[in-house]
Structure 1
Amino acid sequence: MTGPEDLQARAAAGDSRAFSQLMQGSKARLYRFVRRYVGDADEAYDLVQEAYAAAWLAIRRYDPARPFEAWLYRIAINKCRDWSRRRRVRRWLLSAGDLTTPEAMAVADGARDAGEALATAQALARLGQAIAALPPPLKEPLILTAIEERSQAETALMLGISVKTVETRVARARRRLADTLAGLEATD
């Protein structure tokens, strides 16, 4: 039986089977994290694939003394940040165009039909949108600790920040979410 340290060392040496085993053991958690980060299932799937591809290409730089999952999450977080930047640029470019053209009008807005969604589903959707709208320095530690149930120490390692910074950012994220959700309820 091979232990996780042996598997990590073999993967770091370029063993594709060991890397595949590490990937299988982490893919569900990584997908959930990325899905919550970007708010879109299809985009999350693509980003997870990009993260694994980037991890494999950089596997020789992986230090087996560090947890594989922390290293992998750093890569995935960077992929999510890149995705967010690209999305902002696309939004800006689209806003500069004529949105009254037939092509622009044919694009679905992705909004939920209020008639078919239950109140709880709407509340969850608002929460998901509020989380997705948080800036990355607040969103990342919040998702990792509150949703993924990672410890603050593990989150700090994944994000490359101190435990105290994780604690502070999570508290700020929760305050911002509470304010955002209270503002949304006031307008409903």
Structure 2
Amino acid sequence: MQERHPLQTRAAHGDVVAFETLVGETKAGLYRFVRRYVGDADETYDLVQEAYAAAWLAIRRYDPERSFEAWLRTIAINKCRDWSRRRNIRRLFMGGADLQSAEALAVADDEVGAEDRYEAVEQAQRLHAAIAALPPKLKEPLLLTAIEERSHPEAAEILGLSVKAVEMRVARARQKLSQQFRAGLAD
């Protein structure tokens, strides 16, 4: 009888080549997920590296019958949560300065027709910032289902929630984003 997940099984037994292959298969998706979670490219790179390092250190506890990507997402979510807590503590001590604000990130563009591009970029930045500002319990299911296009049962497995809880949190996250954008239009 043939093994169902030979690459995952080899990785779970400490095979570096198998693990590196899995890293190669998952790194683009994991980067996108973490980038949407934290909203900062430099921080994203560091968090993705931390997630893979933690995965390698815990590889012997990985169950190859479970999705490697789901297991890795769980680790990445925990790294993102830790990062959020550290950032909140820094803000508390630094007086709330937000270096990721639209004002801090704005760059002048004198090119003809730049207004349209600037507006699109500004909207995308507002969306990234709004998603990054959501509480983790709303942000995580939203990113997994709406952005990563995972099913509610897959998101539930990754987050350790019921499918109904995922559905409810996604609906609340969308409602909160909608309220934020309506409030932004009223300004």
Question: With structure 1 as the length reference, what TM-score do the two structures score?
Answer: 0.88
SS in 2 for 1:31: helix
Deviations 1:110-153 (A, max 9, x none): 33147666212111111111111100000001011101111111
Task: Determine helix, strand or coil for the equivalent of 2:92.
Answer: helix
Give 2:152's aligned residue: 152
| Alpha-carbon distance in structure 2 between the residues aligned to 1:114 and 1:184 | 22
Give the aligned residue type for 1:168: M
Shift of 1:164: 0.9
Aligned length: 175
Alignment match, 1:111: 105
Q: Distance in 2 between matches of 1:111 and 1:30?
A: 24
User: Considering only aligned residues, what root-mean-square deviation do their CA atoms show, in Å?
Assistant: 1.9
Q: Distance in 2 between matches of 1:111 and 1:9?
A: 44
Moved more, 113-122 or 28-37: 113-122
1:82 and 2:82 correspond:
yes
**Who is 1:71 aligned against?**
71
Letter in 2 for 1:111: L
Q: Secondary structure at the match of 1:87?
A: helix
C-alpha distance after superposition, 1:35-73 (max 9, x if no partner): 000000111011000000000000001111111111100
The aligned residue for residue 135 of structure 1 is: 135
TM-superposed CA distance for 1:4, in Å, is 7.0
> How does the TM-score come out when normalised to structure 2?
0.88
Stretches of structure 1 lacking an aligned partner (at least 5 in a row): 100-108
